[in-house]
Structure 1
Amino acid sequence: MKFLYALSFLLALTAVNSETYSTENDNLDIDAVVADDATLKGFSGCFLDTVACDPVSADFKKDIPEATETACAKCTDAQKHIYHKFLEGLKTKVPGDYEAFKKKYDPQGKHFAALEAAVAQS
């Protein structure tokens, strides 16, 4: 009987750990964000603490530290796609911000390669 309680506890713990981030903004048109330089810089500035965040960028910003560290383990497929497109757009259009983003969210350079690999397929 104790075994069943322990097994139930472990299954419940696994279910809690498999949660995803809020899906509220999964419908973001990331292609439009990347296509518009001002909007891309607005998101980047929010994430780098150089401009005020709007509600959408603030929603994404709160998850960036953990998502970077865990290679987007809690990201939905849509969030992986958004993260990938954002990073690619930043790298291409604003390379200085891309480097600053990497330095801010992965200062020791331990996690970013795994993150980019995890979101590349989306």
Structure 2
Amino acid sequence: MKEDDEFSKLSGISSGDPLVGADPFATVDPFAGGDPFAGGDPFATSDPFAPGNPFAAVSRTNLESKYYFCSNCNLEICAEQYTNKYDGINLDEILSNKKVLSAYVNCLLDKGRCSVDGRELKEHVTDALSTGCKKCTGPQKSGVRKVIRHMIKYEKASWALLKRKYDPSGTFARKYEQELKKL
């Protein structure tokens, strides 16, 4: 008996606890509160996590699973980025080829057909401008700087048309132009 008292002091489990000395291989009657088909209540206790409730472990597990699922959803939502499928594209080749560059500009201005990657760019350009390219990958951010720098320096007419379409108030263009002057 003295050993039991010492054990309960150290472990915090009293000898009156139903789990102490319980047979670990005993089967649990899921209808301990009564047979629901005979009018009994399987949830005889109001606390779903009470130690006597045979469904407590299942309830805790479900609750933990839901929490884990929801927290993973939040991570996925926060970590959303544009596709990195075009991160390896050779921008220098595009910028040095007037025909290819004008095809991209015409796509963005709705004046010509769009390639697959041109459509992808067009789909995200407004969002990227308004969010400061928050969903852009690292290579996309450096690519945007390179393209804007090139457009400002060598393609002033096309740059003016793009600004008029995607930034009529001029707020984004001023921000990016000032940022590029610092570099």
Shorter chain as denominator, the TM-score bin is 0.7 to 0.9
Aligned residue pair count: 118
| Aligned CA distance change for structure 1 residues 112 and 71 (closer, same or farther; 3 Å) | farther
- The alpha carbon displacement at 1:68 in A equals 0.6
Higher helix share: 1
Normalising by structure 2, what TM-score? 0.55
Matches within 5 A, 1:7-18: 9=70, 12-18=73-79
Aligned equivalent of 2:80: 19
SS at structure 2 position matched to 1:107: coil
Relative CO higher for 1 or 2, CA cutoff 8 Å, sep ≥ 6?
1
Q: Which residue of 140, 153, 176 maps to 1:92?
A: 153
Measured on the aligned residues, the alpha-carbon RMSD in Å equals 2.7
Matched, 1:105 2:159: no
Note the residue ranges of structure 2 that are not aligned, 5 or more in a row: 1-59
Normalising by structure 1, what TM-score? 0.79
- The alpha carbon displacement at 1:7 in A equals 9.7
Matches within 5 A, 1:26-37: 26-37=87-98
Matches within 5 A, 1:69-88: 69-88=130-149
Greater C-alpha Rg: 2
Q: Is the 8 A contact 1:71 1:114 kept in 2?
A: no
Q: Deviations over 1:87-119 (max 9, x none)?
A: 12222222111011112111112223445539x
Q: Which residue of 26, 41, 44 maps to 2:105?
A: 44
Identity within the alignment, %: 22
Q: Deviations over 1:3-41 (max 9, x none)?
A: xx7898467435403311011111110011111111111
Q: Deviations over 1:56-110 (max 9, x none)?
A: 1111111101001111010001111221222122222221110111121111122
What is the distance in 1 between the residues matched to 2:155 and 2:176?
A: 19
